[in-house]
Structure 1
Amino acid sequence: MKFRFDRWSFIVACLTFFTITLCNTSNAEHIQVNNAQQLVNALKNANTGDVIILASGTYLTSPTTYYYPLAGYYEPLEGDIAGRTAYFRGSQDNITIRSADPAQPAILSGNNWNEEGYVLHITGNNWTIQDLKLTNGAKGLILDNASNTLVRNVEIYNIGQEGLHIRDHSHDCVVDNVHIHDVGKKNDGFGEGIYIGSDNSVWYEGDGTDTGEKGKRYRRACHNNWIKNSTFGPNISAEPVEIKEGSENTIVENCIIRGSGISGANFADSHLDIKGTFTQIRYNHFYQDGNYTIDQSIMVVPRQNAGVEQQYTAHDNYIYGNTFDLNDDGVEMVVANSGSEAIFAWNNTRIPASGATYNSRVENYHPGTLKTGTGAKGSSCHLAVPEKSYQLDGGAGSLSFEIITEESFSVGTNQNWVSASRSGNIITLTYQANTSGGERAGEIQINGCLDIEIALTQSTGEAPCSLKPESSTLSFTAISGTATILVESSENFTVSDDQSWITATQQAGAVEISVLENNNAGTRSGTVTLSGCETKTITVSQSGIENSCSLVLSKNTHHFSDQAGSVTVQVTSNESFTASADQSWISTSISGNDLIVSVSPNEQSSSRSGTITVNGCEQQTLQITQAGKPTTGSGVVIEVAEDAYVREDKPTNNYGTATSLRAEQLPAEDQEIFLKFDLSAYASTDISLANLRLYPYSGSGATNKLYIANNSAWSEQSINWNNKPDFGSAIKSWYVDNDDQFFYIDITSTIKQYAGQDITLVITGAAQDDIRYRSKEAGVNIPMLLLNNPPEDFNQLRKEISPVPAAFRIFPNPNRTRYLKVEGGQGEIRIYNLQGVLVNSAHQSVIDISSLPAGVYIVQSGRATKKFIRQ
């Protein structure tokens, strides 16, 4: 739903006023139009049956303030209501606006799609809009209270938001052979091609908490509308077609609906959204156009969770005879979300046929009878005022005006100096003299089926004096300078300043302000005071000189092994600097722009750390850590420094903070894992054995492969598919037979080769399953390198997890039946929950699991285990 205020539009209003007699069709005219002003006049004076004929060319006008709902064509409306020829709701003969030559259609154009406003706005029944082009507006064609309207052979393009909107009690409309493309250029999440109805948050039948554009609430009923033989796309940024809750009996047929341009913003991931009821989508052709933002072609979206009653949303909808060209096998033709009822789809064709079709809430058969709603339309709402604003003089007075409406309404004001009363549809305004010394503003508030505000501005009464500088603030750079501020005053005035670096001098009708150079780094400010019949101030601010100093270290952390060692850190600074360490085992020296850091051997088994502080024009720190001396018979554990996975189908997304690392290989949807380890503290001679330890917690039956990245210049906060480092041939592979166990990959020769530097390991997957490993953000079972672990330590880290015997099998898995069957069990079969609690046991091969709630469980037989899912 959109909440936007539009400031200009072609507006066509047809209103009912019970005192006006409708004109007969015998008075119908053919009105020839050649320029914008003629079009304005034709729209303002149109009678039932009139045909407004536009010569070929572009009708371009400039924006003006919009007020609802009198007629206008980007022009201010100065005439009163009585000047209108007719106000009516409904007649047997439409008013028609069309081009003289359909082969060279007239173009109705606003200034720019990035400015607010409608290109064409219809606010009454029985119109025909034919053989036109609409372009360059925030919205294209809007039908409000515009029932029995025909839109035919119209092209709508270069629009900032939605292209065509049928709303506010518009029913029985026909949209035929319309081409809508290149819309949503201003707000891509609100750029629907055609939009039928309104979000329930702005229904007139609601509680009125939220309102729509121009403070207006829209009638819910938009029924029996027929969209046919039209083309939607390319480059529609939201859904090409959206049918809102509260809309009944919509038909969309024989249309071409393109997927190119659908952005994914504001949940725009479908060709067509159905939130209404009794809808028929038939004989259309949908194209994905290679747009992988599309998750499904048609989505049925119930709105009960937004407070909509079931009768108004997502039931009795029918999708049949359509063709879906979907190049992504995972994109379903129709998806019905939870809460949908009676959604039927049949005789639809998917290209290619191997892809997904419907989810489980869609009934894949002809229901026999296609139900239709009652199409109860309720009543229309019309409320018109003659002026959008009034200018009042400074003295006390009153004025009266008449509004046109058939509805009940109330009237009031928002200021105590003005009051409003009514007698029938005549509103009388009474206001007091303005003695405030300045102009003041207020508004008349009319509350009915529409809420309308009329702006009031009252000029000041005679004041003894005014003193008005053109600006109350003035800014200077650090250098000296002078500026002049004009002053409007009816009497003499003096000036003064409160800072020694400011000099203020009175000039004829102005004040001249000068400042000295600011040699300090900080900004300074002062005040110039103007004194006369009033006192006014000007705040003067001056920025300081820029600090051109910087001090940057080539690294801010370094890790040493337990042995004595040193490292050189480059310092980039345009001034001299010093360095000091807070630990005696750390020493520093400086050679030019190089900081040399040395450490003595660590004879203790525990690691230690310290900080080096570098002082210059700025201060930086270097964190130093040193490993403890290894004990006899034990190795070293190096935890992963940075880890992330990347996705080919979401090439700009970063997953560096995820608790999982995912590997899978599918067409255009590969997922790859990147692991960075810091080996800077280790020499090749320090390493005799190196194992990579991984823990897959989900997925099985797939082979993973290990690679070495060409570089380690990446960060887990920014890596994605587009910027990931390249890698060469696989160096290792392993088969993941089951999850929830450790895997150890011997990569001794590779780790020895990369000793003393960073190394990045890359893991790729296979198509059989998505293998998910724990990341360092998970906090447990994280990736690590095990250096020089003797066999006893190696087994301890494995926690003696045995492989599952091939003969041990449980089925069905996942399981939603009463019984779990076991093959190859040894002795008692035990079932545990994930908290380690025994929840069932048996010695037979068929186990009654009906008492187990849905969840994940571990089945154990001897030393063999299996995971199963209870649904």
Structure 2
Amino acid sequence: MSPRSALLAVAAAALLLAPAAPASAAGAAAQTVDVSTAAQLKAALAAAAPGQTIRLAAGEYHGSFVARRAGTAEKPVTLTGPRTAVLVNDGPSGSGPACPAPTAGWDSGYGLWLYGAPYWNLTGFTVKDSKKGVVLDSSPHVVIDGLYVHHVEDEGVHFRRSSADGVLRNSVVEYTGRAQPAYGEGVYLGSANSNWDCHGNTGGADRSDRVLVENNRIGPYVAAEGIDVKEGTSGGTIRGNTFDGRGLSGENSADSWVDVKGSGYLIEGNKGTFAPPGTFANGYETHNPATTPSFPNGCGNVWRGNTSDLGGVGAYAIRITSVSACAGRPNVVHASNTVAHATGGLTNVPVTP
């Protein structure tokens, strides 16, 4: 072999043995899908892959937007955009199943619907003028950060059908219940026991457990509760939120910032105010539907460091509906909670230091 041939052979071998080059800029960009129309957004949601980012341009997106693709813990799917990127669903239309599920020819009317889509991040954008705002079904480990949800007919954000271990933070939810005030919760965790046949675990409770709701502004003009914590859920945290009770409707007992029917929740560092118009009874309430000895709903919850101004209308900052129902797992109200302008006081149960 000539010296030149030998040199070429060595060079070729070196190329074969060299480590693979890092992904090119073009390859990396494939992980980001930019959309600017409703059709592009629908296509991106339908094709979403773990680790991918779908990036919304400013503008309004009208349509039915459903995500059914799963991310992973290591590679969540991200849907992001500025607040001026606005999702609007002009539905509902067509006929759907008795238990809501994406169905051809039926528009749920939801602004954004994650169905069987765990490990998503939803950041920055707006949802408005829809039947419901953001609905999560069978979609655990979803992080919602910095969304603006407003002017929706029913609830603003719903963790449903065992969408556990989720997060809602740094978001604004206001002007809900525009068509049905009794169903206009700002944030809805779980499902009422009357809906467990649809949204429960094979007939059991809807275990949308361990959801963290923190640093949000909820209200004004949230027609039902700011947060409705449904029976059957447990282990969540409600922290650092601001509740503005103006516009509470009083329909279907919607007369408090937070109604806790779940168990084992930590409620701390929140600030609540009430002023007319609206119907207001107490800042925080507990109730005990579907309670059994093995599953005491509305029990074992802890309040600490919350600041409440009841506007001279509400009775208690924290009203525990039944002590006897939670005898084995009492609710605890710490002395670090404060109240102003209450007709009754801080709470109707003994305070824990």
TM-score (norm 1): 0.33
In structure 2, the CA distance between the partners of 1:250 and 1:72, relative to structure 1 (3 Å rule), is closer
Partner of 1:318: 302
CA distances 1:331-356 after superposition (whole Å, capped 9, x unpaired): 21111112244111121111237752
Equivalent residue number for residue 347 of structure 2: 358
SS in 2 for 1:234: coil
Amino acid at match of 2:255: D
Is residue 261 from structure 1 mapped to residue 247 from structure 2 by the alignment?
Answer: yes
Q: What residue in structure 2 maps to residue 33 of structure 1?
A: 35
Shift of 1:137: 0.8
CA shift, 1:291, in A, is: 4.6
Deviation at 1:363, TM superposition (A): 3.6
Q: How many angstroms apart in 2 are the aligned matches of 1:292 and 1:261?
A: 5
Q: Provide closer, same or farther for how the CA distance between residues 269 and 46 of structure 1 changes in structure 2, counting only shifts above 3 A.
A: same
> Alpha-carbon deviations, 1:17-40, whole Å to 9, x = none?
xxxxxxxx9896100101111111
Q: What is the CA–CA distance in structure 2 between the aligned matches of 1:218 and 1:145, rounded to whole Å? A: 14
Secondary structure class of the residue paired with 2:252? helix
Q: Which has the higher contact order (CA 8 A, sep 6+)?
A: 2
Residue 166, structure 1, aligned to residue 159, structure 2: yes
Mapped pair 1:144 → 2:123? no
Which residue pairs with 2:112 in the alignment? 120
Question: What amino acid sits opposite 2:237 in the alignment?
Answer: I
Hey, what's the Cα distance between the residues in 1 that align with 2:302 and 2:176? 28
Aligned match of 1:110: 89
Equivalent position of 1:695 in the other structure:
none
Structure 1 residue runs of 4 or more that deviate by more than 3 Å after TM superposition: 25-28, 86-91, 112-116, 216-219, 307-310, 352-355
Q: Which residue of 1 aligns with 2:174?
A: 181
Contact 1:152–1:176 (CA<8 Å) still a contact in 2?
yes
Letter of the structure 2 residue corresponding to residue 111 of structure 1: D
Whichever residue aligns with residue 221 of structure 2, its letter is: N
Mapped to 1, the partners of 2:71 and 2:350 lie a distance apart of 42
Are residues 1:202 and 2:195 paired? yes
**The structure with more helix, counted as a fraction of residues:** 2
Deviation at 1:329, TM superposition (A): 5.7
Percent identity over the alignment?
26
| Structure 1 residues 330 and 169, CA gap change in structure 2 (3 angstroms) | closer
Tell me the secondary structure at the aligned position of residue 175 of structure 2. strand
Cα displacement string for residues 741-764 of structure 1 (whole angstroms, at most 9, x for unaligned residues): xxxxxxxxxxxxxxxxxxxxxxxx
Alignment of 1:103-502 (within 5 A): 104-111=83-90, 117-123=109-115, 124-203=117-196, 208=197, 211=198, 220-291=206-277, 293-304=279-290, 308=292, 311-328=295-312, 331-338=315-322, 339-341=325-327, 342-346=330-334, 347-352=336-341, 355-359=344-348, 362-366=349-353
Contact 1:169 1:218 in 2 (8 A): no
Identify if the C-alpha distance between structure 1 residues 261 and 322 changes in structure 2 by more than 3 Å, giving closer, same or farther. Answer: same
- The 1:334–1:353 alpha-carbon spacing in structure 2 relative to 1, beyond 3 Å, is closer
Identify, as 1 or 2, the structure richer in strand: 1
RMSD of aligned Cα (Å): 2.7
Provide closer, same or farther for how the CA distance between residues 329 and 184 of structure 1 changes in structure 2, counting only shifts above 3 A: closer
CA distance in 2, matches of 1:137, 1:217: 29
Q: CA deviation at 1:110?
A: 1.5
Displacement, 1:277? 0.7
Helix, strand or coil: the match of 1:143?
strand
| Offset of residue 168 of structure 1 | 1.0
User: What is the aligned partner in structure 1 of residue 100 from structure 2?
Assistant: none
Once the two structures are TM-superposed, the CA of residue 150 in structure 1 deviates from its matched residue by 0.8
CA distance in 2, matches of 1:27, 1:106: 21
Deviation at 1:312, TM superposition (A): 4.5
Q: What do residues 764-801 of structure 1 show as CA deviations (whole Å, max 9, x unaligned)?
A: xxxxxxxxxxxxxxxxxxxxxxxxxxxxxxxxxxxxxx
Q: Deviations over 1:83-116 (max 9, x none)?
A: xxx95574421100101xx3x5310112279996
CA distance 1:358–1:219, shift in 2 (3 Å): closer
Shift of 1:358: 1.1
TM-score in terms of structure 2 length: 0.80
Q: How many residues align?
A: 307
- Long gaps (5+) in structure 2: 1-26, 94-106
